[in-house]
Structure 1
């Protein structure tokens, strides 16, 4: 793997993770604003595919490094890892947020929910 290939892989990792993040936010908005849960799920599936592509690149970089520092730790690589970590976390949280929106949408409209606020003891 050449330095140019590594840089290209890092950029691809950043863009794939960024695309996954954007797709998750689109899915959450689709669930919240339009209650279109099948479309939200389709967007989440696209996000997972983008994450899979990013994770594959990460795995290749790790295997090439072999824990011996063969891949230089550049600011771009750290940035890529940050994007990937955030996209993974957002995908997990996004699925939970969409599930909550779906549960709320399925509640009967005639029921009122009351929340009790307790004073601290």
Structure 2
């Protein structure tokens, strides 16, 4: 793996980790009822996932142009970070929505 490929893998790992962390912070914010912060953290996670997607697109473009990309354990690890972050981000969005719905239902119960 050359230096450029290592840089891309590190971008994948960092972007995936940052996205997962932001998604987790969204859940924590929703748990406390701070839905504005939760939605901001989900957007932040999306931003990091977009960075990872750009890195992946560069590798895929190179591969499509005949520049074969070596597959190493480190590359698999980087891709795993991104896929896990995508799944975690999707789940966090659902959890934030659920907390928001529960909060609205609680308000309705208190008004009755």
TM-score, normalised relative to structure 2: 0.90
The 5 A counterparts of 1:56-71 are 56-66=54-64, 70-71=68-69
In structure 1, the partner of 2:49 is 51
Residue correspondences, number? 109
**TM-superposed deviation, 1:109:** 3.5
TM-score, normalised relative to structure 1: 0.84
What stretches of structure 2 of length at least 5 have no aligned partner?
Answer: none
The residue matched to 2:54 in structure 1 has which SS? helix
Q: Which has the higher contact order (CA 8 A, sep 6+)?
A: 2
What stretches of structure 1 of length at least 5 have no aligned partner?
Answer: 112-121
The 5 A counterparts of 1:24-43 are 24-32=23-31, 34-43=32-41
Structure 2 residue 83 is the aligned partner of structure 1 residue 81? no
The residue matched to 1:106 in structure 2 has which SS? helix
The residue matched to 2:69 in structure 1 has which SS? coil
